[in-house]
Amino acid sequence: MLLKGQKYLVVGGVTMDIICNADNIEKVNLSHYRTSEKVICIRFASKTPLRDFKLDFGGSAANSAVTLSRVGDRVDLLSCVGKDYFGGACIENVKDFGVSTKLIKRRGQKTGFGISILTLDGEKSVLVYRGSNDYLSTKDISEKEIKKVDNIFITSLVSKDNFLLFKKILTLCKKNNKTVIFAPSISMLRDYKKEIKKLEKFFDITIMNLEEARYFTSRLDIKEVIKSLPGVVRVVSADVNGAYGFDGDRILKIGIVPLRVIDSTGAGDTFSACFCHEFLKTNSVESALCFATLCASLKVNHIGARFNKSLREVQSAYKKYKRYLSVKEIR
């Protein structure tokens, strides 16, 4: 059941990130039966120079939670960090953005880490150490916490303990009529594709990028892909080709706002969070696609995984870029 609400529980990973800017890295497109993949190539047994690097905060759940908070929603974040320095820094960072950290767990494992390698055009590949994120489990959530929120936003949950938590949350959401937003990573889909397909009835809004959606549905054509996804509302982001939305009747497409791509890290998280914020406020897929596309375009225009604009700044940008935010139905 889709409910309008402004209180979210966001579930998933928090990481520290090292963002590396590299010039001499080749990109290759690989096409397979019913799927496609882009890879980067680094010379074997050789040093690849970096133009610059930056230590920052990341993690899909944290990025999404921060974005929701910045556009005016109330957010609880359910995640796990280590008892090390980085764990404390991660908690303080999301707290600074107005996100409630009362459900963030601290355990003895190291805090998760990501190494993002950015190419000249802003595209990225990421090396991930999940660390304490993998230890988030069923004991870390209760029905009481589920009842306090309107919408549950689930990002990537990869370990076996994570997946048991995932199933527990879905069951509690069904029991308490909560809106479930499912925004997984390709890693989660690769590990649990068959199991997730058995749980499709629990999803209200499903959001994936094109690579994830093609992998999950085993289809290539976007119309077949989006119709084959689970959820009452289904959304597929497609990088420079814009984004697609399906409301159960129409397939809608929106292009991009032509801002310079400096860093695409976290852009998908920004898109997903902003789509949900706007859709659950307006019940309009068109409006949600416009808002999410604008915010994601503003995100890629700066380095770092966090969305750094206020709602007022987004509204000002809308006036400037409105001509690019046109939604069309495709058949």
Helix (H, G, I), strand (E, B) or coil at 237: strand
Give residue for tokens 């046109």.
326
DSSP string, 91-157: HHHHHHTT-B-TT-EEESSPPEEEEEEE-TTS-EEEEEE-GGGGG--GGG--HHHHHT-SEEEE---
Q: Where are the alpha helices (DSSP H) in 44-97?
A: 60-70, 85-96
Report yes or no: 209 and 268 within 8 Å, Cβ to Cβ: yes
What is the rounded CA–CA span in Å between residue 219 and residue 221? 6
Report whether 215 contacts 186 (CB < 8 A). yes
Q: Do residues 219 and 261 make contact, with C-beta atoms less than 8 angstroms apart?
A: no
Alpha-carbon 228 to chain mean position: 20
In order along its 331 residues, the chain shows pLDDT tens digits of 444 448 999 999 999 999 888 877 777 777 654 555 677 787 787 888 888 888 999 999 999 999 999 999 999 999 999 999 999 999 999 999 999 999 999 999 999 999 888 777 667 788 889 999 999 999 999 999 999 999 999 999 999 999 999 999 999 999 999 999 999 999 999 999 999 999 999 999 999 999 999 999 999 999 999 999 999 999 999 988 999 999 999 999 999 999 998 888 899 999 999 999 999 999 999 999 999 999 999 999 988 889 999 989 999 999 999 999 999 999 8
- pTM here? 0.90
Separation of alpha carbons 106 and 36, rounded Å? 38
